[in-house]
Chains A and B, each alone.
Chain A
Amino acid sequence: MVRLLTHNMLQCHVKNCTNGFPLRFQDPVIEQHEQEINKEFLVNMLPRIDWNALRTTVDQLGLPELPAAVPENPAEDEAFLAALHRALMEVNIQSGSMVCPECEHVYPIRDGIPNMLLSEDEV
């Protein structure tokens, strides 16, 4: 269950690969797990989210579109926070893999945990 929150923080680290973000999901098995919304947590996390990467990923997964930009006062915007909560916290990628958009390296998801390990000749 890789959530898009985590995915938004992972980057390809193959040697000489400089633009490996965001990773693209391949053969994702997507589940939605309903969860209580924690607005304080979402607002606290927002400055750490790469918004364009999140929008791109949501689009690639065929999920409901997110607004083009974060509203000026996100803490007051209930509809925005609800959409953000669904995308970041409720979408779970159970299995599949993540592929680097630049070098095409494949990072598998096993038991719901992203595997970012590389062998020595790749680092």
Chain B
Amino acid sequence: MLATPDLRHLTADDYDHIYEPAEDTFLFLDALEEDMEAVLAPRCPRICLEIGSGSGCVSTFLAMHLKTPTLYLTTDINPRACTATRRTAAQNRVVHRLEPVRTDLTAGLLPRLRGAIDVLLFNPPYVPTEVAEVVTADTAATDPSDLLAATWAGGQLGRVVTDRVLLQLPELMAPNGVAYLVLLQENKPDEIATMMAKLGFDMTIVMRRRAGRERLMIARFSRTIE
């Protein structure tokens, strides 16, 4: 078992604004640990991009344990999440290789980083909700005071934000890149696998776990080898 990042610097006040690491986060860490030596280390990634980094727990975990000279870029629309991510990186002594950017998903990184993402990490807002509940960049830009819904409200099938990112994978990912995504059974993983096959990506479920009512899984996407 690899150590999880030290999060003692984060307070109840932080968690009023950012997502507090929970079962989905820990499943994500366990899946990355599972893939660490066989999938991630041999790729010697240059750039790992985490979308919606929240507390920064996931990127920090990878930066702590993946012994490769990798840059960890993180994005979040919530300014509190960006500073929390940097604090978590600092608390765990990886801040020199981790760079938070406040933005909507990947905006401002393309086309500059086209085909340059070696590892992508995304724990999206996956809970099925009304589409109106999905937090947009516009809300985040005009009123950043309450962005907690951005961490969970996923719209129809819980897929509105997830699909926006999945459709960008062909542009984002390096030829040998791997993208990791947290999914619920309600997100219809089979439908996602079919959609991604058409875009030239294979989907593998790395790990599954039931947490209360949530049937969680971690999916890994890589380009189909022809």
Give chain A's interface residues, CB within 8 Å of chain B.
3, 5-6, 9-13, 21, 35, 38, 40-41, 43-45, 47-48, 50, 89, 107, 110-120, 123
- Our pick among A40, A44, A118 for the contact of B137 (Cβ within 8 Å) is A118
**Cβ–Cβ contact B101 & A10, under 8 A:** yes
**Cβ–Cβ contact B102 & A114, under 8 A:** yes
Instruction: Give Cα A110 to B141, complex, Å.
Output: 13
- Our pick among B99, B104, B113 for the contact of A117 (Cβ within 8 Å) is B104
Instruction: Give Cα A107 to B107, complex, Å.
Output: 12
Instruction: Give Cα A77 to B47, complex, Å.
Output: 23
Which residue of chain B is the closest to A50 with respect to CB atoms? Answer: B112
In residues 41-100 of chain B, which contact A (Cβ within 8 Å)?
44, 46-47, 68-71, 73, 77, 79, 82-83, 86, 96-97, 99-100
Which residue of chain A is the closest to B116 with respect to CB atoms? Answer: A48
B71 to chain A, nearest CB (A): 6
**Cβ–Cβ contact B107 & A110, under 8 A:** no
- CB-CB < 8 A to B69: which residues of A? 38, 40-41, 43-45
Instruction: Give Cα A50 to B110, complex, Å.
Output: 14
List 5 A-B residue pairs with CB atoms under 8 Å apart, sorted by A's residue number.
Answer: A12-B108, A38-B96, A116-B102, A117-B77, A120-B138
Among all A-B residue pairs, the 5 with the closest Cβ atoms: A116-B108, A116-B103, A41-B69, A120-B138, A44-B69
Instruction: Give Cα A107 to B104, complex, Å.
Output: 14
Which residue of chain A is the closest to B144 with respect to CB atoms? Answer: A117
B11 interface contact, C-beta 8 A: no
- CB-CB < 8 A to A12: which residues of B? 108
- Our pick among A35, A48, A114, A116 for the contact of B46 (Cβ within 8 Å) is A48
- CB-CB < 8 A to B111: which residues of A? 11
B52 to chain A, nearest CB (A): 14
**Cβ–Cβ contact B112 & A117, under 8 A:** no
Given known A9-B73, A44-B46, contact A117–B83 (CB-CB < 8 A): no
- CB-CB < 8 A to A38: which residues of B? 69, 96
Given known A48-B116, A120-B138, contact A113–B100 (CB-CB < 8 A): yes
**Cβ–Cβ contact B79 & A111, under 8 A:** yes
A95 to chain B, nearest CB (A): 14
- Our pick among A113, A118, A119 for the contact of B101 (Cβ within 8 Å) is A113
Q: Which interface residue of B96, B99, B107 has the most chain A CB atoms within 10 A?
A: B99
- CB-CB < 8 A to B96: which residues of A? 35, 38, 89
**Cβ–Cβ contact A47 & B141, under 8 A:** no
B87 to chain A, nearest CB (A): 11
- Our pick among B97, B102, B113, B137 for the contact of A9 (Cβ within 8 Å) is B113
- CB-CB < 8 A to B136: which residues of A? 120
- CB-CB < 8 A to A11: which residues of B? 108-112
Given known A6-B101, A9-B109, A13-B110, contact A117–B141 (CB-CB < 8 A): yes
Given known A9-B112, A45-B46, A113-B82, contact A118–B99 (CB-CB < 8 A): no
B42 to chain A, nearest CB (A): 14
- CB-CB < 8 A to A6: which residues of B? 73, 99, 101
Instruction: Give Cα A21 to B111, complex, Å.
Output: 10
